Amino acid sequence: MALGSAKKQSKVHDRSVYVLFSLIQAVKETNDVNARLVNELNRAQQDYEKIRGDVRGELHEIRKELQGFKQAVGVVISGGNASNVTEIKNNVFDLKLDMRMLKEYMVGRKGC
């Protein structure tokens, strides 16, 4: 009978060791997955910061163009000539083009 009891204890011990090693393996795999997720989140944050910087740069350029447009309009209102009107038309065209390109850029980035 002692031999049967020893076999049962051995089987229980083997199962306990197996369960313990399985748990350790599961924890290691979970840690690996978490590390990969952290890396992906860091990359996504870097991408976001780059896009944000790009958009800020574009907006800065648009603001500068708007300021030039306001100045040109002020010149025409205060008695400018035909070349000022042409300059305004060119500024409006450039501004519309910049806005369209910025919109396309942002729509393209959302799709990524």
3-state secondary structure of 111: coil
Separation CA 76–CA 88 (nearest Å): 9
Residue 39: both structure tokens together: 């890396």
Per-residue pLDDT of the chain (112 residues; tens, 9 = 90+): 455 565 667 776 678 888 889 999 999 999 999 999 999 999 999 999 998 888 888 888 888 888 877 777 776 666 666 566 677 777 777 777 777 877 777 777 665 5
Separation CA 21–CA 66 (nearest Å): 67
Domain ranges of the chain: 2-110
* pLDDT score of 1: 47
Query: How far, in Å, are 5, 27, 59, 63, 103 from residue 66 at the CA level?
Result: 90, 57, 10, 5, 17
